[in-house]
Amino acid sequence: MPERFLVFIPAYNCEKQVPRVLNQLLDRQVAAMVTECIVVNNRSTDGTEAAVQSWMQAHPQAPVRLLRNDQNYGLGGSHKVAFQYAVQHNFDYLIVLHGDDQGDIRDVLPLVHSGRHRKYDCCLGSRFMPESRIKGYSTLRVVGNYGFNWLFSLVAGHKITDLGSGLNLYAVPPLANGYYKKFPDTLYFNDCMILALYHLKQKVLFFPISWREEDQVSNNKLTSFGVSLLKLCGRYLKNKNEFVTREWREKPIEEYTSTIIASNL
């Protein structure tokens, strides 16, 4: 039976970029791999939703659904919506592809075509491996990322080459128990996930990706983000079990719900 791949595109105020991301689904090899794609609009205040609907109307053959979060859940919360969707609809794998058009889904094709993805619980795209290709990153950001990758590697006891790019592949069965539900709904979701993955002894692979920054708008404030990462490391070292099970959210949410706005399926 063919493996079922769900592509999850988190989208927030990226009306210019998200049609370009959706265009990646038209690649012949990508189209052959993808079973379904969900664009999860996290209550955008610009024309993101209209841009997705317009693209879907122009490409009715593309297996795309547009979901709107019932509340603004943040990036981490949108991941929880997608993880839940993948589990409920019996997908085998979930591919995260950010809606701001920095990554290229074709970078996962070598993993899938070789079958190497089956050996791991998650395959995380890395911007900072020797084979990776970065365009538009400042030297300060590159150096800062290398520094935190080294720190998290030391803390986790495993080599980590990226704390959270916008292109990742997860096996769905390990997500079924919802261990991530109490993790932050903010940008720190991926950082908690990485440390939790190693503590839970999941099999993790980093793979090189291409990454570019052109007309995207970053929501990341480097100084405060760096301080928060240091605090995460401290909490993990203090008590790893508590790190995974504690409540990280300022506003706990029982169910992360969304509404289907449009569907080509």
pLDDT of 222 > 80? The answer is no
- Helix axes of 74-88 and 189-199: crossing angle, nearest 10 degrees: 50
Tell me, what's the pLDDT at 217?
53
Task: Give the mean model confidence (pLDDT) for residues 220-232.
Answer: 82
CA-wise closest residue to 35 among 49, 24, 25, 21: 25
96 vs 99: CA distance, rounded Å: 9
CA-wise closest residue to 230 among 158, 139, 163, 178: 163
- Position 162: which residue type? D
Domains of the chain: 5-263 (3.90.550.10)
Tens-place pLDDT, residues 159-196: 999 999 999 999 999 999 999 999 999 999 999 999 99
93 neighbors 5 (Cβ within 8 angstroms): yes
Could you report how far apart the first and last alpha carbons of the chain are, in Å? 21
pLDDT of 204 > 60? The answer is yes
Instruction: Give the position of tokens 């839970």.
Output: 200
Tell me, what's the pLDDT at 194?
97
Task: Give the mean model confidence (pLDDT) for residues 7-26.
Answer: 98
Tell me, what's the pLDDT at 138?
86
Tell me, what's the pLDDT at 189?
96
What is the percent of the chain where pLDDT is above 90?
A: 91
**Backbone dihedral angles phi then psi of residue 131, each to the nearest 5 degrees:** -85, -5
